[in-house]
């Protein structure tokens, strides 16, 4: 970072401001994890990692433009050799913030981070297989799609789901803060918010996508399709005896196989949408429906009368 010119530094009482900010950080408004941890995951580095991982998974689409049969494997290997150590370090920093320890030099965190990154790397092929099923679902489910390559390069829903597949594996392996950062990078890029804890089956397609929200404990089956502005959210937030929110309880919907949810629908609470159901646009639903249901706004108004 470039140092401010002396003339500008003299325009403000910088020594006093810097000292006051230190006092705020260290004493008055101290929020550092367990009072000690300074090393936090970097959103910039994690974005670089995810870009590298998507390039390794789909090198001809997200990698270099000069790839061919002679150099593509070298490119994939070189990309993974670059981003996996970066991921390991970000996982280590994540563990410092989510586990009980505070010693940043503790080798336990390095070893645990390496084990998580190694296990994640071993799952890249299953992750890619899921993503291929998602790509096929998008291509088959949208008459405007001219090719799977178009879907992979253009569709924000596919990008959001790709990031989720990566984030979900890391979340399940214990790198929860890194996973949350990946989901928020996807959110800021696509307008689609999927908590990394959400479990999503194969052949998942979000069409258009802007404004979709999928909560932490949502469970989505196979061959499910959502449209823009769909919410799979919580109906209420219970508190404990101290008034603090209860964390981790199952509070989001279960969506079974082959369900279609149209634009603007809001599905709240731990309810189940039975397999093969269709939920119409702008429906507000807080109760379970049996398999093969067709729920529309008109039906919901009739139920309320």
Q: Can you give the three-state secondary structure of 195-209, one letter per residue?
A: CCCCEECCCCEECCC
pLDDT value at position 28? 85
90: tokens are 């970000």
pLDDT value at position 11? 78
pLDDT value at position 79? 98
Give pTM, 2 decimals: 0.87
DSSP 8-state symbol, 244: P
Residue 280 CB-half CA count within 13 A: 10
CB–CB of 181/160 below 8 Å?
no
For every residue of 88-126, DSSP letters joined together read HHHHHHHHHHHSS---TT-HHHHHHHHHHHHHHHHTHHH
Question: Can you list the residues of the chain whose pLDDT is less than 70?
Answer: 1-10, 30, 32-38, 99-105, 298, 300-305
pLDDT value at position 201? 98
**CA atoms of 243 and 250, how far apart (whole Å):** 19
Compute, in degrees rounded to 10, the torsion defined by CA atoms 238, 270, 129, 203: -140
pLDDT value at position 261? 98
User: Who's near 37: CB < 8 A, 6+ residues apart?
Assistant: 96, 97, 102, 104
Angle between helices 156-173 and 176-190 (to 10 degrees): 170
How many percent of the chain have pLDDT more than 70? Answer: 89
State the alpha helices, DSSP H only, in the chain: 6-9, 14-23, 43-57, 59-62, 72-98, 107-122, 124-141, 148-154, 156-173, 176-190, 297-304
User: Who's near 113: CB < 8 A, 6+ residues apart?
Assistant: 88, 89, 91, 92, 95, 175
User: Who's near 275: CB < 8 A, 6+ residues apart?
Assistant: 221, 256, 257, 258, 259, 291, 292
Domain 39-192 grouped into CATH 1.10.3130.10: yes
Q: What does DSSP say about strands 272-273 and 205-206: parallel, antiparallel, or unpaired?
A: unpaired
What are the residue ranges spanned by the domains of the chain?
A: 39-192, 211-239+246-305
Which of 3.40.50.2300, 1.10.8.590, 2.160.10.10, 2.30.31.20 is the CATH number of 211-239+246-305?
A: 2.160.10.10
The Cα-based distances of 195 to 130, 160, 233 in angstroms read 18, 11, 11
Identical fold for domains 39-192 and 211-239+246-305, yes or no, is: no
pLDDT value at position 40? 86
pLDDT value at position 242? 78
Residue 145 CB-half CA count within 13 A: 22
pLDDT value at position 2? 63
pLDDT value at position 29? 78
81: tokens are 């050799």
CB–CB of 278/295 below 8 Å?
yes
CB–CB of 56/79 below 8 Å?
yes
């Amino acid at each position: 970072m470039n140092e401010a010119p002396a003339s500008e530094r003299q325009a403000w009482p910088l020594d006093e401001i810097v000292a006051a900010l230190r006092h705020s950080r260290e004493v008055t408004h101290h929020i550092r994890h367990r009072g000690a941890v300074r090393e936090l995951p970097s959103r910039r580095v994690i974005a670089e990692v995810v870009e590298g991982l998507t390039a390794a998974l789909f090198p001809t689409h997200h990698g270099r433009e000069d790839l061919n049969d002679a150099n593509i494997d070298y490119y994939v290997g070189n990309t993974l050799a670059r981003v996996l150590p970066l991921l390991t370090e970000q996982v280590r920093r994540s563990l410092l913030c989510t586990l009980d320890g505070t010693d940043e030099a503790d080798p336990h965190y390095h070893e645990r981070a390496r084990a998580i990154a190694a296990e994640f790397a071993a799952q890249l092929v299953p992750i890619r297989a899921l993503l291929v099923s998602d790509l096929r679902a998008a291509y088959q489910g949208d008459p405007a799609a001219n090719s799977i390559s178009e879907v992979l390069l253009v569709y924000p829903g596919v990008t959001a789901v790709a990031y989720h597949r990566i984030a979900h594996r890391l979340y399940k392996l214990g790198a929860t803060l890194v996973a949350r950062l990946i989901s928020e990078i996807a959110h800021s890029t696509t307008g689609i918010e999927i908590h990394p804890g959400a479990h999503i089956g194969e052949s998942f397609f979000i069409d258009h996508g802007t404004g979709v929200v999928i909560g932490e404990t949502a469970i989505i089956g196979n061959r499910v399709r959502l449209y823009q502005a769909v919410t799979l959210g919580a109906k209420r937030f219970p508190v404990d005896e101290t008034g603090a929110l209860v964390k981790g309880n199952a509070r989001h919907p279960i969506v079974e196989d082959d369900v279609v949810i149209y634009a603007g629908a809001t599905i709240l609470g731990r309810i189940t949408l039975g397999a093969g159901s269709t939920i119409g646009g702008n429906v507000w639903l807080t109760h379970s429906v049996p398999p093969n249901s067709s729920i529309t706004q008109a039906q919901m108004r009739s139920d309320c009368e």
